[in-house]
Amino acid sequence: MKIKCPVCDKYADWSDNPSRPFCSQRCRNVDLGNWFDEDYRVAGEYVPDPEQNQPEQNSH
Ligand SMILES: [Zn+2]
């Protein structure tokens, strides 16, 4: 089963996808980023994504 990511409109597998309804943790973060902007890495939920090039977290 495929789902359409609401963030980037890519299709992704539904099963075995901890980031659903998003295609990846990155897109999930993009969505959450609306509120978590800088500190969007949720402990315990980070899933490495090879396509992802995460910037180092800025500390103020
Ligand atoms: Zn996506």
3-16 confidence digits (pLDDT tens): 899 989 999 988 88
Amino acid at 38: E
**How far away, in angstroms, is 60 Cα from ligand 1 center?**
29
| DSSP codes joined into one string, 22-38 | SSSHHHHHHHHHHHHTT
- Mind listing the domains of the chain with CATH numbers? 2-36 (3.30.50.10)
Q: In which band, very low, low, confident or very high, does the pLDDT at 51 lie, cut at 50, 70 and 90?
A: confident
| Average pLDDT along the chain | 77
In angstroms, the CA 2 to CA 12 distance is 5
Identify which has the larger pLDDT, 47 or 5: 5
pLDDT given for residue 4 in this prediction: 92
Q: Which residues surround ligand 1, an ion (CB under 5 A)?
A: 5, 7-8, 10, 23, 27
Full-model pTM: 0.50
| pLDDT over 60 at 18, yes or no | yes
Residue 5: both structure tokens together: 């990511």
Q: Round to whole Å and give the CA distance between 51 and 6.
A: 18
Alpha-carbon distances of 45 from 1, 17, 38, 60, rounded to whole Å: 22, 12, 16, 23
